[in-house]
């Protein structure tokens, strides 16, 4: 049995989609581990979008990705009954709503970290009560400060305390964390613009109007948007953790597939018009 290049391509594509689905679990594991520090009294309903912003965001994106895959590749035109069309659009709208809410969750995380204030009277973290304080070694991930590890985190003499949390960090660490939080916000905002633009592309293609100025404007805009997302992925590769970089890389690859689906769809429609 042999696999042709088309089947190998589809296998690769759906493997990427599977990895993205797995990332939902990994983000949940990270945020679940950090939740007790941020919310010592438990995560309330009002705190869900902030506490689990990455998990909810990724889950909504995975579902949205599958909706785009169905509409731009899997389903033929004959399958687009009114019920199917409304179902696809309804699910995409619901996912988009959660993505927007997750964006505001990232904004809340940025505000939380930006609210860190100078910890007066503390010049040595080894003097803090052992086991009661934590150190954020990266955005959203903490480790308990103990007598065995306290000297390893920083040689600074000034520290910053996060609001309503038993966590401290030095100035250099706080700068890195705030920058990563900004990258999260910018990345989430750009992805919202990408999905809005892709939604416009799909609607124009459905009506045979994805040509001329619309096509050129969409292409130029995507160079800017995907370039920004690539820069964010590179930044995470150097300053963030592997999961952030890996997730960003996979999403770029996944949406290249969706863009190729739209391109192939357009080529098929143009060929059908010429043959008519």
Averaged pLDDT, groups of 10, the chain, 276 residues long: 68 90 92 84 80 89 87 74 83 88 91 94 90 90 91 92 92 95 94 88 75 84 93 90 88 85 69 61
Report the candidate in 224, 163, 225, 158 with the shortest Cα–Cα distance to residue 190.
225
The domain locations on the chain are: 5-115+173-275
Q: What 3-state class would DSSP assign to 118?
A: strand
**pLDDT of the residue at 155:** 87
Look at residue 233 in the predicted model and tell me its pLDDT. Answer: 92
Q: What angle do CA 242, 243, 249 make, to 5 degrees?
A: 90
Q: Is the pTM of this model over 0.85?
A: no
Give me the pLDDT at residue 213, please: 83
Q: What is the pLDDT of residue 1?
A: 42
Q: What is the pLDDT of residue 48?
A: 82
Q: How far apart are CA 190 and CA 196, in angstroms?
A: 10
Q: What strands, in cross-sheet order, belong to the sheet with 117-118?
A: 117-118, 160-161, 168-169
250 CB contacts (<8 Å, ≥6 apart)? Answer: 16, 19, 20, 23
């Amino acid at each position: 049995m042999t696999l042709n290049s088309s089947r190998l391509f589809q296998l690769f594509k759906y493997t990427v989609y599977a990895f993205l689905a797995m990332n939902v679990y990994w983000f949940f594991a990270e945020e679940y581990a950090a939740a007790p520090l941020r919310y010592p009294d438990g995560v309330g309903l009002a705190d869900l979008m902030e506490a689990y912003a990455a998990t909810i965001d990724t889950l909504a994106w995975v579902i949205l990705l599958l909706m785009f895959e169905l509409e731009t590749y899997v389903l033929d035109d004959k399958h687009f009954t009114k019920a199917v069309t409304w179902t696809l659009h309804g699910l995409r709208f619901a996912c988009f709503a959660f993505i927007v809410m997750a964006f505001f969750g990232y904004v809340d995380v940025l505000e939380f970290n930006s609210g860190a204030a100078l910890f007066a009277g503390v010049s040595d973290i080894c003097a803090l009560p052992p086991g009661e304080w934590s150190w954020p070694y990266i955005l959203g991930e903490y480790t308990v400060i103990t007598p065995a590890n306290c000297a390893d985190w920083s040689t600074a003499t000034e520290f910053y305390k996060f609001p309503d949390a038993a966590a401290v960090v030095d100035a250099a660490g706080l700068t890195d964390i705030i920058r990563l939080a900004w990258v999260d916000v910018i990345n989430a905002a750009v992805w919202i613009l990408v999905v809005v633009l892709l939604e416009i592309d799909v609607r124009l293609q459905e009506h045979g109007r994805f040509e001329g100025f619309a096509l050129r404007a969409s292409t130029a805009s995507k160079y800017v948007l995907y370039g920004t997302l690539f820069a964010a992925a590179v930044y995470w590769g150097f300053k963030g953790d592997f999961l952030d970089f890996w997730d960003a890389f996979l999403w770029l690859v996944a949406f290249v597939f969706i863009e190729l689906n739209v391109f192939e769809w357009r080529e098929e429609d143009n060929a059908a018009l010429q043959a008519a």
